[in-house]
Amino acid sequence: MAKPKLATCSLAGCFGCHMSLLDIDERIIELVDLVDLDRSPLDDKKRFDGMVDVGLVEGGCANEHNVHVLRDFRAHCRTLVAVGACAITGGVPAMRNLVGLRECLEEAYLKGPTVEAGGLIPNDEDLPLLLDRVYPAHEIVKIDYFLPGCPPSADTIWAGLRALLTGHQPALPYKLFKYE
Ligand code: SF4
C-alpha cells in the first residue's frame, strides 16, 4: 500500500519549527517508514508532483512569494496544518505590523542606529514584494489544524502529525500545548 505523503514549507519563519520536527529523535525512523516526503526544504524538493496527504506550514505571509507558496500548499494538501506561532498569529515577524511598512523599511535601511549615512531601501524586481503587513496563514487560506508553540515541542508536532498520517483526529493532551 502506498504511504501517505507529507510536505512542509517555511514562509516568514525562522526554521525553528522545522528544527523542532527534526528533534523527534529516534522517532524520525518511524516517520521515514510512515511517509513519503514530497515538497519540503528537508529534501529540497521545490514542486509538488501531485496531491499530498498532509502539509505542514511554518511561518506567516510577509511577502507575495509567501502567499504564492501557501496557496500552492492549500491546492496540493488534503490536510493543511499551521505549525507554530508565526503561522498561527504572524509571530515575531508580525511585530512590524505595529508600524507602517514604510516606517519599518526606513528604520531598517535609512534611520536605524546601526545604519550608515546613505542607506538605501532595497528595490529590485527580483525581490518578492513585501505585503502591507504580516498575515497569519489562516487569513490567506483555509487551515485545518493548528499546532501552537514557538516552536511547538517535538512531542507536540509528532503527536499531531502521527495522528493525521495514520488517519486519526489529533487529540493532544493539554500538557503538549501548555506553555508557561
Ligand atoms: S513559531 Fe517560533 S520557532 Fe517557529 S518559525 Fe516562528 S519564531 Fe521560529
Taking Cα atoms as reference points, which of 90, 30, 27 lies closest to residue 59? 90
Kindly give the distance from the C-alpha atom of residue 178 to the centroid of ligand 1, in angstroms, as a whole number: 16
Domain positions in the chain: 5-96+132-173
**Helix or strand holding residue 70 (H, E):** helix 64-76
pLDDT tens track, the chain, 180 positions: 789 999 999 999 999 999 999 999 999 999 999 999 999 999 999 999 999 999 999 999 999 999 999 999 999 999 999 999 999 999 999 999 999 999 999 999 999 998 888 889 999 999 999 999 999 999 999 999 999 999 999 999 999 999 999 989 988 898 888 777
Q: How far is the CA of 53 from the centre of ligand 1 (A)?
A: 23
List, for residues 126-146, the tens digit of each pLDDT value. 999 999 999 999 999 999 999
Substitution site in 8, 9, 20, 58 for ligand 1 pocket (most atoms within 8 Å of beta carbon): 58
pLDDT score for 139: 98
> pTM for this one?
0.94
- Among the CATH numbers 1.10.357.10, 1.20.210.10, 3.40.50.700, 3.40.50.620, which is that of 5-96+132-173? 3.40.50.700
Ligand 1 mutation pick, 22, 89, 92, 95, max ligand atoms within 8 A of CB: 92
Half-sphere exposure of 35 (CA within 13 A, CB side): 23
Would you mind telling me the total number of residues written for the chain in this entry?
Answer: 180
